[in-house]
Amino acid sequence: MTATPDGRSPVIRRDGEGTSRLWGKGSVVTTKLSARETGGLLGVTHFSAVAGERAPRHTHTLEDEIFIVEGGQIRLTAGERTEVVEGAGVLFLPRGIPHSYLVESETARFYVITTPGGFERFFSEAGYPVRTGTSAPVGASWSVDRTVDFAEKLSLGVVWGE
C-alpha cells in the first residue's frame, strides 16, 4: 500500500475490526484508528453501548471531541446545555467544555473521534479484553475511581467534575 512522505498509510477497518474492549456496564468499545496510525492527527473509537453506560462530567484539556451517534438514545450534556439525541446525530465538543453522556435506550451505537489523537489509548488500556461469551474478569469492578486512575496514569489531561 502507498504511504505518505511522513509514513502514514491508508487504513480500512470494517464492522467488527479493530481493538475491542469490554467497558463500563458491559459495552464493547473498539478502537478503529489510533493516533499512531494517523500520525497523531486523530483517534476513532466505536461504542456498542448498553443502557446506563455513561461518562461522568469531565473536561478534555488536550483534544476536541466529536460524537457521531448511529442509533439509540443518548443524553448529552455540554456546558449547561443538555440534549437527547435519538436515532442519529452529531455533537462537537471543543476542549475546555465540561460534558457527560448517558445511554438511555437499551442499546446505542456511536463513534467518538478525538483530535489530536491519543485519547483512544484510554479505552484500550482501561477496558477488559473481549472474549466471546464473557464479561469483565471475576472480581473486577468498574468504577469512576478506576476510570479516573487510568486517565491520570496515561496523562490524558482530563479534568473530572466541575
Domains identified in the chain and CATH numbers: 19-130+153-160 (2.60.120.10)
Query: Which residues have C-beta within 8 Å of that of residue 105, sequence separation ≥ 6?
Result: 51, 72, 73, 74, 86
Question: Mind listing the pLDDT tens digit for each residue in 14-23?
Answer: 988 999 988 8
Q: Looking up cell 483517534, which residue turns up?
A: 43
Query: Given this model, what pLDDT does residue 126 score?
Result: 80
Neighbours of 13 (CB within 10 A): 15
- Reported as a pLDDT band with limits 50, 70 and 90, residue 138 is very low
Say which residue, 150 or 4, is predicted with more confidence: 4
